[in-house]
Amino acid sequence: MTFEGWSVIAVIITCLVLLITTNLSVDMVLLAGLALLLVAGIVEPEAALSGFSNEGMLTVAALYVVAAGLKETGAIRYITQKVMGDVKTVRGAQTRIMLPVMVMSAFLNNTPIVASFIPALEHWSKRTRIPVSKILIPLSYAAILGGTCTLIGTSTNLILNGLLIEEGSTRALGLFEPAWIGVPCAIAGFIYLFLFGDKLLPSRGEAFESFKDPREYTIEMTVPKGSPLARQSIQDAGLRQLPGLYLVEIFRDKKALPAVGPDQRLREEDRLIFAGVVDSIVDLQNIQGLVPATNQIFKIDTPKNDRVLFEAVVSSSNPIKGRTIKEGKFRDRYNAVVLAVSRSGERLKEKIGDIELQTGDTLLIEAKKSFQRRYRNSNDFFLISSIEDVQSTNYEKSGIALFILFGMVGLAGFGFLTMLQAAFLAAALMIVSKAIRYTVGIETVDWRVLIAIAASLGIGNALMTTGVATHLADFMLNSASRSPMLALIITYLITWILTELITNNAAAVLVFPIALSIAESLGINFIPFALVIIMAASASFSTPVGYQTNLMIYGPGSYRYTDYIKIGLPLNFIVAILTVLIVPKIWSF
């Protein structure tokens, strides 16, 4: 092996050590490793930077915009609520998410499925206080396992089948042929995660953090006519599951219903008074079927997507001080609507319009973006600050967003467009249809994940251009050329190792010709080797860099590199053992 080859191995080992032993981010470590190889002249600029123009990486970028559109319109949140229901345990949550995702991933590309579910599960986690770190790895693993069950479940299967078609000396695979091994592995993976997922996964993420803001707001909501929440109980409507939120009472037919129980059923035109912290107030406002109990909000001549939430503190010189919000005509004066009021921890029971403002009251306001600029130097308020990363859910566009999602999957699944083309078309339609604003779509792209993917592809190219990958594969496979079973086992191991170091598609493409030559030299059927490569290339559970869905959940789940090793390595061995035992029995040599 050349000096350049050993240098690449040294850089990869150093990166792995840093990722395992430190809290440095994946993108930082991989980009630094790639930069070192580039500066040293070990890899050419074209090969090093090719990852930044890679179709897979660009597809992920476009899918972030698609997922953001689904989040902003509440479409995926609605689906998640139906899927997750009122589950209250970690094991129940993992079961609810893994089963449908496995089925969906068998027929749809697993990358957009994971991208779409991440924001919805983050919100659901916050609402139920089940740590998001307990469910995102099962989400990714379920998507990976489900993708192995059909020929169209993952791009790796399609790429390898394309190689079989080009080869000529072998036959192509059937649509459901991988299911003979994929389904048993998916079932075993589900059982393993069901039994050990809660114990082996960390408890991290927003859902487990206590609220740091002591301000308690009072907000009034109403159940409008035609609301889907009418005739539902408080429990079924999800109004008892928001942390930091308390339903004070319900006003019905000019009477107050205090001490509201979970079985109390809602009626149209009920007026509900809540008290809670700002995060829960924002979540409450985005629940479909509830609207702020004031006609003022519908008089703001601004599209819902262009409104922003602000907090403003009433000053001693505010002209409305000492008067109620209704009497002071707050909406006419400021072209803004008061959604909630906080007063030094005091729980206010009055309707929003009947609250008499005092100096120091903190108001939660919905207004145009220009509100802060216009009134930040005004004597009416001591302080005005926008609430970051908060957008009102635009349920009116949820049907359009779902139509775009299914259209994207259909166009890519039936081969009318490539996944890259379908993803970019869907992202563009999300913006053109105003399901999401362009600026919000760009801001939701996780550039650190994209950098990590691109850098890992660059390092993978370095492995191939310096001959390291070929040398390693040749050495290991040729050593088992006399034993078909041993050759099969080593084919799995080398494909798995390369998948964890580079990418699943690159590993499959690299091992394919070498395994084919081994099968031909032994005069045996190559199809068992093809199925082993499919499973090993997809079975990336023990590192975040081997499969892009693992990278996508790395940040949102607040995971560390060692978390993947802890829960993923046993699953790797389970899938490996099942694969090498079952494949020769279904597809004989």
- HEC sequence for 186-236: HHHHHHHHHHHHHHHCCCCCHHHCCCCCCCCEEEEEECCCCCCCCCCECCC
- What whole-number distance in Å separates Cα of residue 568 and Cα of residue 143? 14
Q: Please check whether residue 490 is in contact with residue 480, taking contact to mean a CB–CB distance below 8 angstroms.
A: yes
Q: Are 107 and 124 in contact (CB under 8 A)?
A: no
CA–CA dist 101, 106 (Å, integer): 9
Q: Which CATH superfamily is domain 217-276+289-386 in?
A: Regulator of K+ conductance, C-terminal domain (3.30.70.1450)
Q: Which two tokens stand for residue 121?
A: 């599960």
pLDDT at 207 (0 to 100): 40
CA 447 to chain centre: 14
- The three-class DSSP label of residue 427 is helix
Q: Which residues make Cβ contacts (< 8 Å) with residue 409, sequence separation at least 6?
A: 108, 109, 112, 422
Helix (H, G, I), strand (E, B) or coil at 506: helix
Rounded CA-CA distance 106/588 in Å is 25
Q: Give the CB-side neighbour count of residue 421, counting CA atoms within 13 A.
A: 8
Name the nearest CA neighbour of 260 among 292, 228, 235.
235
- The kind and range of the H/E element at 370 are helix 370-375
Q: How far apart are CA 128 and CA 242, in angstroms?
A: 7
Q: How many residues does the chain have?
A: 589
**Residue in 539, 520, 534, 518 with CA at minimum distance from that of residue 586:** 534
Tell me the whole-structure pTM to 2 decimals.
Answer: 0.64
- E strand spans, 30-111: none
Residue 410's pLDDT is: 80
Find residue 366's DSSP bridge partners: 309, 337
**How many Cβ atoms from other residues are within 10 Å of residue 268's Cβ?**
13
- 31 backbone dihedrals φ, ψ, rounded to 5°: -65, -40
* Whole-angstrom distance, CA of residue 269 vs CA of residue 222: 6
Query: CA-to-CA distance for 459 and 37, rounded, in angstroms?
Result: 8
Please work out, in degrees rounded to the nearest 5, the angle formed at the alpha carbon of residue 120 by the alpha carbons of 117 and 122.
105
Distance CA 414, CA 105 (A): 15
Q: Is 195 exposed, middle or buried (CB count within 10 Å of its CB: 0-12, 13-18, 19+)? A: exposed
Contact at 8 Å (CB) between 341 and 355? Answer: yes
pLDDT at 212: 42
CA distance 519 to 512: 11
- SS3 label, residue 314: strand
> Any alpha helices (H) in 251-355, and if so which ranges?
278-285, 330-334
Per the CB < 8 A criterion, the answer to whether 121 and 98 are in contact is no
HSE-CB at 17 with a 13 A cutoff on CA atoms is 7
Ranges in the chain, pLDDT < 70: 56, 76-82, 84-86, 109, 112, 127, 205-215, 241-244, 259, 279, 294-306, 344-347, 349, 387-395, 413, 469, 472-473, 476-478, 480-481, 502-503
Residue 115's Cβ-count burial label (10 Å; 0-12, 13-18, 19+) is buried
Asked if residues 487 and 476 have their Cβ atoms less than 8 Å apart, the reply is no
Residue 386: phi and psi, rounded to 5, are -80, 150
The pLDDT tens digits for 521-573 are: 778 889 999 999 999 998 889 888 778 788 778 877 888 888 999 999 999 99
Q: Which residue is listed with tokens 């509900």?
A: 272
Q: How crowded is residue 317: how many other Cβ atoms within 10 Å of its Cβ?
A: 12
Work out whether strand 217-222 and strand 336-342 pair parallel, antiparallel, or are unpaired. antiparallel
Q: CB-side exposure of 136: number of CA atoms within 13 Å?
A: 34
Contact (CB, 8 A) for 362 and 311: yes
Residue extents of the structural domains in the chain = 3-204+446-586, 217-276+289-386
Provide the 3-class DSSP secondary structure of residue 389: coil
Provide Rg for the chain, Cα atoms.
28
Is the distance from CB of 206 to CB of 126 less than 8 angstroms? yes
Q: In angstroms, rounded to a whole number, what is the distance separating the alpha carbons of residues 475 and 81?
A: 51
Whether 144 and 540 have beta carbons less than 8 Å apart is answered as: yes
Question: How far is 146 from 109, CA to CA, in rounded Å?
Answer: 10
Task: Find tokens 């440095």 and name the residue.
Answer: 24
pLDDT at 179: 92
Q: Please tell me the distance from the alpha carbon of residue 35 to that of residue 41, in angstroms, as a whole number.
A: 10
